[in-house]
Amino acid sequence: MAEHSLRIGVLAGEASGDILGSRLLAALRKRYPELQIEGIGGPLMQAQGLNSLFPMERLSVMGFVEPLKRLPELLRIRRSVYRHFLANPPDIFIGIDSPDFCLRLEWQLRRAGIATAHLVSPSVWAWRRGRIRKIARAVDRMLCLFPFETAIYRQHAIAADFVGHPLADEIPIQSDRAAARAALGLPATGRLLALLPGSRGGEVGLLAPLFLATAQRLSRADPELRLVLPAASPERLVQLQALLPAYSGLPLTLVEGRSREVMMAADAVLLASGTATLEALLVQCPMAVAYRMSPLSWALVSRLVKTPFAALPNILAGRALVPELIQEAATVEALVAAVQPLLYNSHVTREQQQAFASIHQALALGFGERCADAVAAVLENRAH
């Protein structure tokens, strides 16, 4: 295939996918300067030359109820994108995350003879393993952010590549704690504990009181300990401000956003299980992980999940590297016992940080180039 003629379809449904997609498109454009790109994406992908057929915000829905409310519109957008690419076939179509939206579209396009790839593996290794059959029909190649994800695809004869994680390329192996503290206006010396109770309202409602009560207990034991609490959004800032009067007297700094800087500045972090744990690992901030959900959600999730660990650092390490306290196990007493060694036992913190550095190096592969290599491999296979 002539390099100048490459035309791709690509679809990202939310801001995180827009970030990943922009890195992929930048790497592809280096190889194919006349690259033509159509599909759906946000401002970062559009800056790389994407002609977005619909605003990406129309696909950005969360939870269980909101997608059902918006289902007619979502189905209409997917039909329209399918018809567009059926009438104007790209050399390859790449879906980015959003598996419930993308996989059926990929299956339809592949059935029509269009090569397909999907970036960001659904969590088939953890739950809903039956989706692997749908994925086998839908994609020529799966692009995985984490090394453990490729095994299940190879077991089912699906081509899969570990492409690394862009955050591992972006964040330096050694973080500058002093600079982070200075930037946040925090004291240059003294122990500092970060509290990250999640980014969604429901998470914060369940976890913030638990985290603040834990901090209160730790602060009584060590009056010199300082606390910093980043709010993930303006809405979470208001929510946290309403909670804080019940914990008056805590030496706590409330920050809007800047959670990565906060973790760089801190000696340890107590945080909700989720994507923030990867950032904590990459900035080498010793951590304890907790999570609570409604009893009904927990009853459903605990039956579906097939992995021994919830925290991503433990999944990546393949062992209980960081304390994780889920549901009934997440008590103030248990969290105090998990956090204290991170603040006062250098052996415990050193063990975590050494493992974090090793995982960081394994994830820093040059994400964009690895993605472009995988896309080129699909095109080459189709050409023969």
The per-residue pLDDT for 5 is 76
Report the pLDDT averaged over residues 176-184: 95
Cα–Cα distance between 226 and 190 in angstroms, integer? 8
Instruction: Tell me the C-alpha to C-alpha distance, in Å, between residue 199 and each of 203, 275, 376.
Output: 7, 10, 37
DSSP string, 362-381: HH-S-HHHHHHHHHHHHHHH
Q: pLDDT tens for residues 57-110? A: 888 655 445 566 678 888 999 999 999 999 999 999 999 998 989 999 999 999
Residue 172 tokens, joined = 């330096």
Q: pLDDT tens for residues 193-202? A: 999 998 888 8
Report the pLDDT averaged over residues 54-58: 89
Query: In sequence order, which residues have a C-beta less than 8 Å from that of residue 52 and are 6 or more positions away?
Result: 39, 40, 41, 42, 45, 46
Q: How many CB atoms lie within 10 A of CB 99?
A: 22
Backbone angles phi, psi at 52, to 5 degrees: -85, 120
Cα–Cα distance between 290 and 272 in angstroms, integer? 5
The per-residue pLDDT for 84 is 97
Lowest mean pLDDT among 248-252, 321-325, 354-358: 248-252
Q: What confidence tier does 3 reach under pLDDT thresholds 50, 70, 90?
A: very low
In this predicted structure, the answer to whether residue 168 has a pLDDT above a threshold of 80 is yes
**By the 8 A CB rule, do 78 and 106 touch?**
no
Q: What confidence tier does 383 reach under pLDDT thresholds 50, 70, 90?
A: confident
Backbone angles phi, psi at 175, to 5 degrees: -90, 150
Cα–Cα distance between 366 and 187 in angstroms, integer? 35
CA-nearest of 244, 247, 270 to 331 is 270
The per-residue pLDDT for 126 is 54
Global pTM reads 0.87
Evaluate the CA torsion angle 123, 129, 130, 135 in order and state its sign: positive
Q: pLDDT tens for residues 211-268? A: 999 999 999 999 999 999 999 889 999 999 999 999 988 999 999 999 999 999 999 9
Report the pLDDT averaged over residues 166-180: 94
Cα–Cα distance between 150 and 158 in angstroms, integer? 9
The per-residue pLDDT for 1 is 42
Residue 78 tokens, joined = 């997917």
Q: 68 or 293, which is more confident?
A: 293
Q: What confidence tier does 272 reach under pLDDT thresholds 50, 70, 90?
A: very high
Mean pLDDT, all residues of the chain: 91
In this predicted structure, the answer to whether residue 4 has a pLDDT above a threshold of 50 is no
Within 97-148, strands assigned E span 115-119, 141-144
